[in-house]
Structure 1
Amino acid sequence: MKPSKFIGLCALAALASGAPAQAELSSAEQRMTETVDAEMERTVSLLERVVNQNSGTRNVEGNRAVMAMLRPEFEALGFTVEIIDQDEVDRAGHFFARREGHPANRRILLIGHTDTVFEPDSAFQTFTRNGDRATGPGVVDDKGGVAVIIAALRAMHEAGTLEGANIVVALTGDEEDFGEPAAIGRRDLVEAGQWADIALGFEGLAIRDGQDMGTIARRSSNSWTLTTSGNQGHSSTIFSDWAGDGAIYEMARIISRFRSELPEPNLTFNVGLLAGGTTAELDEQALRAQATGKTNIIPPIAIARGDFRTLSQEQTDRVRARMREIVADHAPGTGAEILFDEGYPPMAPTAGNRALFDRLNSVNSDLGLPEMGLLDPALRGAADIAFVAEYTDALAGLGAAGEGSHGPAETIDLSVIPRQAKRAAILISRLAAEER
């Protein structure tokens, strides 16, 4: 992992001033805030257009249509746009916009995504505005975040702070269900993370009890498939030396031990799908199960799917090892196998991430906004920023705000967009002007 430079920089700044910095906005920063406000309706209009274009993860053409809408927005700001093909993993690809500045300046990576969980067959397809509220598929997650990025970069362009800045904007087309293997599906994002000094994630801003919250950590998302087997026979012989416990009792034993033996801080685990009987199988996407059986037959097969979430890679590795141990300890006359899918890695809390968050709160102070608190990582899901957090300091939660994401009433609070865009524009401008 790259060593953080922020702690040293912040300490030097404090020593030089003799007190915590309380600088006011510069003239360029004031210009940025005015630009964000002046262009608010333009920002909402763009948001409406991209929300009304379906871009479910599996809708390749829909995602590419959104990317086509976004291309001129970035090119007008001096970015070079590339659509990176992902046909190898049956996904729409990624939208990368690059702006090369002074080689000595910090390199900033901005991360968002164009896809949503709502496929073309969803009944939820339209942006609907009611004053400062609007509903629509992906209006918060993450088309609202993309709107915040563009609003911030427009403000920087107007104020002249894009000049000299080294910025890559990475908008993935499959954040909700990335193309596997990750070595292909996340190759370009990881390379951008290795290039960057700082990564900023533009998924949703969390608000708790009226307070805006910062995110310096996100938990992983790891899926597993457990298959148990038993000796099929007459139910009257269950638990005998010959028949054993059967596949469903073996499944129940393992799941019960998961529940009693796995709990620890920052870990959650879930069983989301289960089937067993004389026959049991999952569909191609492992989203549906089909089973047959009779009450007088000992079941020879059971299948379960679930997930677990962790705060560090060490915790992920340890939990996987413990799950394998529990699975291997078979009940009489049974067998079991657990397989782990590729998942999202954790974005662990680090001193560098915390220093970035402190810089954000310095921006809040200069904008006259309340100090932000830190969000409990257990309240955040997995995200693309976790793929780069191993390589660079990272800060997430800089996108839009609202409620109901992933549901048929997903709603954005439009009044939060200017606040987030101003924060982002000033933070990016300050960081991008510093030497590496």
Structure 2
Amino acid sequence: MKRPAAALFLALLLSAGAPALAALSPAEQKMGVTVDAEYDRTVALLEKLVNQNSGSMNIAGVTAVGDMIRPELEALGFKVEWKPMAAVKRAGHIVATHKGKAGTKRLLLIGHLDTVFEADSPFQTFVRKADEAEGPGVGDDKGGMVVMLSALRAMQAAGTLNDANIEIVLTGDEEDAGDPVSISRADLIAAGKRADAALDFEGLAVEDGKDMGSIARRSSNSWTLSATGKSGHSSRIFSEAAGDGAIYELARIIAAFRKELPEPNLTFNVGLVGGGQSADVDKDGVRIAVTGKTNIIPPIAVAKGDFRTLSQEQTDRVQEKMIKIVAAHSPGTDAKISFERGYPPMAPTEGNKALLAKLNGVNADLGLPEMPTLDPLKRGAGDIAFVAADVDGLVGLGVASRGDHAPGETADLNSIKRQAKRAAILMTRLSREKR
């Protein structure tokens, strides 16, 4: 009787005593064989997903990608629900659950269906170039979703998925979250409260040829600053009666931010400025229409920007410093600042570090190098941050890629194999731990 190719390959590895597999159980070895055997299937699914536009505002496109993912999860025994998000003007989310053995750890897997490339983008097509592929979302995050599915299929083939308690949340608006987040992230936050570990399948960070482990993501907070002054003839500027005018007050504040705010893991940016006789911000907050003359002291000035932090304590402290700077008004002026908190921080907790240590145990058993910790300054905000206060987590279980969020986004297809093997073994081991 002819032996199946996958079984023959496994037998050869075992008979050779391959050192990279020496510490792996037979089930874990089978997972690796399955990932390799299904590689072409995984890449074909990636191509299909990428060729369906799913920009965050393309409601039909995001829904179509969800419809492609649903049968893949149902075939693995997941109960799949579509959570519509019309209330926040977005498509919706997939929430999928797999019930396993009682009393064992519950895992939350996170990814997203949408991309930054809307339906009118000229960048729309999957193009394979040997061991790489170019296309919208090929790395962020359609590559991550196929890694997740490849790992789960490997677990199913090895029999380790049966007892695993897993919940999957694939958001449809990670790149442009619906407002308010109390609605658009309610399902994700609830899942985080139920979980014992969270694994985020966004892209793998690679530095100098080394795969990096991500245990932190910084927050994303926005602010709006408005300054006012007394209007009048420019010849009276800085006088006791006229004061400094709104634009000088705005400039004072921004300069003070630059001088007084810097500290480790903090960045802050001014993205939009305008001032004069009038300064009207549009309803989307991305344009300012101004009027004015050189011989008129400006009565109004507006600026908008963001700041990013590594912990909630840092967010609170920086916000207090900004408020204090704003309050030290120049003569004859007033100013106010308001804040909008977007993505919370994911701090580098001891629990997150312990998860990375377990992943590095998997790496050692696979014969892969240890993954050093990535500097959180090199990673943007993401959905896992919404559950970071409730559950330990890891980021970066998706594909390695470059040029994300821009035409030419390119994924390293070979990284699918090692990432899926890492994820399958890590999920198997975590799912067997007692709660």
TM bucket by the smaller chain?
over 0.9
> C-alpha separation between the residues in 1 aligned to 2:294 and 2:117?
39
Which residue number corresponds to residue 270 of structure 1? 269
Which residue number corresponds to residue 170 of structure 2? 171
> C-alpha separation between the residues in 2 aligned to 1:205 and 1:39?
20
> C-alpha separation between the residues in 2 aligned to 1:405 and 1:207?
13
Which residue number corresponds to residue 68 of structure 2? 69
Letter in 1 for 2:29: Q
Within the alignment, does 1:253 sit opposite 2:252 as a pair? yes
Deviations along 1:234-285, one digit per CA (max 9) or x if unpaired, are: 2111111222111111110000000000011111111111111222122222
Letter in 2 for 1:186: R
Letter in 2 for 1:79: F
> C-alpha separation between the residues in 2 aligned to 1:276 and 1:39?
59
Q: Residues 228 and 23 (structure 1 numbering): CA distance in 2 closer, same or farther, change over 3 Å? A: farther
SS of 1:315's partner is helix
Bigger CA drift: 178-187 or 61-70? 178-187
What displacement does 1:23 show? Answer: 6.5
Bigger CA drift: 85-94 or 150-159? 85-94
Which residue number corresponds to residue 143 of structure 2? 144
Which residue number corresponds to residue 157 of structure 2? 158
Unaligned runs of 5+ in 2: 1-20
Which residue number corresponds to residue 9 of structure 1? none
Structure-to-structure mapping, 1:83-94, within 5 angstroms: 83-94=82-93
> C-alpha separation between the residues in 2 aligned to 1:267 and 1:184?
28
> C-alpha separation between the residues in 1 aligned to 2:166 and 2:402?
30
Which residue number corresponds to residue 5 of structure 1? none
What displacement does 1:97 show? Answer: 1.1
> C-alpha separation between the residues in 2 aligned to 1:287 and 1:421?
40
Letter in 1 for 2:70: R
Bigger CA drift: 283-292 or 423-432? 283-292
Bigger CA drift: 30-39 or 116-125? 116-125
Which residue number corresponds to residue 118 of structure 1? 117
Which residue number corresponds to residue 104 of structure 1? 103
> C-alpha separation between the residues in 2 aligned to 1:190 and 1:378?
24
Structure-to-structure mapping, 1:33-432, within 5 angstroms: 33-432=32-431
What displacement does 1:313 show? Answer: 0.3
Q: Is the 8 A contact 1:270 1:307 kept in 2?
A: yes
Letter in 2 for 1:111: I
What displacement does 1:369 show? Answer: 0.5
Deviations along 1:139-173, one digit per CA (max 9) or x if unpaired, are: 11111111110111111111111001100111011
Letter in 2 for 1:135: E
Letter in 1 for 2:407: P
> C-alpha separation between the residues in 1 aligned to 2:356 and 2:284?
39
SS of 2:315's partner is helix
Q: Is the 8 A contact 1:182 1:342 kept in 2?
A: no
SS of 2:344's partner is coil
> C-alpha separation between the residues in 2 aligned to 1:160 and 1:348?
35
SS of 1:137's partner is coil
> C-alpha separation between the residues in 2 aligned to 1:70 and 1:208?
31
SS of 2:341's partner is coil
SS of 2:258's partner is helix
> C-alpha separation between the residues in 2 aligned to 1:231 and 1:52?
56
User: Where has structure 1 moved over 4 Å in runs of 4 or more?
Assistant: none
Letter in 1 for 2:155: M
Deviations along 1:63-94, one digit per CA (max 9) or x if unpaired, are: 11110011010001000111112111111111
> C-alpha separation between the residues in 1 aligned to 2:96 and 2:59?
19
- Aligned pair count reads 415
Deviations along 1:176-235, one digit per CA (max 9) or x if unpaired, are: 121122221111111100000000011111111111000111111111111111122221
> C-alpha separation between the residues in 2 aligned to 1:323 and 1:182?
24
Q: Is the 8 A contact 1:54 1:62 kept in 2?
A: yes
Q: Is the 8 A contact 1:212 1:372 kept in 2?
A: yes
Letter in 2 for 1:169: I
> C-alpha separation between the residues in 1 aligned to 2:243 and 2:211?
56
SS of 2:270's partner is strand
SS of 2:342's partner is coil
> C-alpha separation between the residues in 1 aligned to 2:289 and 2:144?
39
Q: Is the 8 A contact 1:360 1:423 kept in 2?
A: yes
Within the alignment, does 1:29 sit opposite 2:22 as a pair? no
> C-alpha separation between the residues in 2 aligned to 1:242 and 1:121?
53
> C-alpha separation between the residues in 1 aligned to 2:200 and 2:314?
23
> C-alpha separation between the residues in 1 aligned to 2:104 and 2:87?
35
Deviations along 1:300-359, one digit per CA (max 9) or x if unpaired, are: 211111111111100100101110111111111111111111211111111111111010
Bigger CA drift: 375-384 or 241-250? 241-250
Q: Is the 8 A contact 1:181 1:342 kept in 2?
A: no
Letter in 2 for 1:420: Q
> C-alpha separation between the residues in 1 aligned to 2:355 and 2:71?
31
SS of 2:351's partner is helix
What displacement does 1:402 show? Answer: 1.1
> C-alpha separation between the residues in 1 aligned to 2:118 and 2:240?
51
SS of 2:137's partner is coil
> C-alpha separation between the residues in 2 aligned to 1:265 and 1:420?
31
